[in-house]
Structure 1
Amino acid sequence: MEILFLKRENGYPFLPKNIIVRMERLLEKTSIKKHATPHIFRHTHISMLTEARVDITTIMKRVGHDDMKTTMRIYTHVTEKMKEDASQKVQKTFGNILNIGIS
């Protein structure tokens, strides 16, 4: 299982508490009201990989999951781009189906 950690230039990992404090300071400077932790980026990353059509096995290896159900159920989220792509596929495949036989 491969788990990636953010590391400083000297090779030592960032302390999670320091990342949280930094995120809180940055969020105070924005209009974002949602409570966010560094873990939210894990969800975003996996959703972006899914949106980019990276295969599930590669995603699982990249994020250290052994169970595909965990990855699919918890971490993949439907994005606006995915919704648009689905609509375009339906339109392309079935768009003219209602026009058949109508004169």
Structure 2
Amino acid sequence: MEDYHNKDFVFSRASGYPFVTKTVLLRMHRISNKTSIKKHATPHIFRRTHISMLTEAGVDLPTIMQRVGHEDTETTIGNYIHVTNKMKKDASDKVEGLYGDILRKAIL
């Protein structure tokens, strides 16, 4: 498309321009009404999910902040980054991989 607007919007029209937030919200409500999910959700949940996925993938904090437009670490860390079960398991696996032999010998 010749006049494509590439600003990396999550929800965009074929032209690249974003949908109006209200449109996304109405579609979310319509879909959720067809499920058994009762949790109230807004399009902002996708932002939180995106940041959690970046964190789980091991993307560094400055890159996450730049990607979502945060200027201070407190906003990103305090409000968006949470330790997930996958992150806990990955941490255990890393320790096991690096220090497993030492830990096993210490137990014996």
Whether the TM-score (by the shorter chain) exceeds 0.5 is yes
Which of 6, 18, 27 in structure 1 is aligned with 2:23?
18
Structure 1 residues 97 and 21: alpha-carbon distance in aligned structure 2, compared to 1, 3 A threshold = farther
Deviation at 1:9, TM superposition (A): 1.8
User: Which residue of 1 is the match for residue 3 of structure 2?
Assistant: none
Give the share of equivalent positions with the same residue, in percent.
Answer: 58
Which of 76, 79, 94 in structure 2 is aligned with 1:74?
79
User: Which residue of 1 is the match for residue 88 of structure 2?
Assistant: 83
Structure 1 unmatched runs, 5+: none
User: Which residue of 2 is the match for residue 39 of structure 1?
Assistant: 44
User: Which residue of 2 is the match for residue 96 of structure 1?
Assistant: 104
Higher relative contact order (CA 8 A, sep 6+): 1
Deviations 1:40-83 (A, max 9, x none): 11011001000000011110000000001110111112222112
Give the TM-score, by structure 2 length. Answer: 0.76
Which portions of structure 1, spanning 4 or more consecutive aligned residues, are displaced by more than 3 angstroms?
Answer: 3-6, 89-95
- The CA RMSD over aligned residues, in Å, is 2.1
User: Which residue of 2 is the match for residue 63 of structure 1?
Assistant: 68
| Alpha-carbon distance in 2 for matches of 1:74, 1:83 | 19
Structure 1 residues 97 and 25: alpha-carbon distance in aligned structure 2, compared to 1, 3 A threshold = farther
Give the TM-score, by structure 1 length. Answer: 0.79
